[in-house]
Amino acid sequence: MKFLEDMILTHGEVRPGGIVKVDSFLNHQIDWKVYREIGKEFYRLFQNDGVNKIVTVEASGIGLACVAAQSFEVPVVFAKKSKTSNIDADLYSARVHSFTHGNDYTMVISQKYLGPTDRVLIIDDFLANGQAVMGLRSILSQAGATLCGVGIAIEKGFQEGGRLLREEGVRLESLAIIKAIGEDGRISF
């Protein structure tokens, strides 16, 4: 999506460790026009897949998921992040390593909100090593739900998440794929 690539080039900041900051329009201040375009594009890509639920993980995936959900007219369920690994019996859970924070956490979704009749589109803001999406996939399989596909706003193609998911046959659609970040911090697509 050229529009998103241009926003990243104009407003993105590169931090050590291959972290891309897009706080001015995506992750802190929210540019509703960018969100609207991303939501519409996810709908265009997945509208024929029988999606009846969108699943994401708190916090930064929620806004994008909600905007997309307006086009799909389906509910959003977001996984909550829990510090403890003591999980109640009525929760699905997966242990995940956070790329940005460098720690492990448990993501949980109530069994009330996900089940075998659900056809799910997973949405998230970034894809790096794929841990967050893998955790959500694990929760979907615990619930017996069907994964229709994964929609990502910004994939960092120089990390392994995209390759791993595509190799496993997951339908992954990333709207901007960063191919490389140069030594001078220049982003290329």
Task: Provide the binding-site residues for ligand 5GP, judged by CB under 6 A.
Answer: 19-21, 27, 60, 99-100, 124-132, 156, 161
Residue 101: CB minimum distance to ligand 5GP, A: 8
Nearer to ligand 5GP, 101 or 112 (CB): 101
- Backbone angles phi and psi of 144, in degrees to 5: 75, 15
By beta-carbon proximity to ligand 5GP, the closer residue of 137 and 156 is: 156
* Interatomic CA distance for residues 44 and 151, integer angstroms: 11
CA separation for the pair 160, 16 (Å, rounded) = 18
Closest to 158 in 3D by CA, of 178, 188, 138: 178
Residues contacting 79, CB < 8 A, separation 6+: 55, 56, 57, 58, 107, 108, 109, 135, 136, 139
Give min distance, CB of 184 to ligand 5GP, in A. 17
Q: For residues 41 and 125, which CB has a smaller minimum distance to ligand 5GP in the complex? A: 125
Preceding peptide of 59 cis, ω within 30°: yes
Q: How far is the CB of 118 from ligand 5GP (least distance, A)?
A: 21
The Cα 16–Cα 20 span in angstroms is: 9
Measured from the CB of residue 28, what is the shortest distance to ligand 5GP in angstroms? Answer: 9
Q: Residue 39 or 157: which CB sits closer to ligand 5GP?
A: 157
- Closer Cβ to ligand 5GP, 63 or 130, answer by number: 130
Taking the complex as a whole, the smallest distance from the CB of residue 76 to ligand 5GP amounts, in Å, to 15
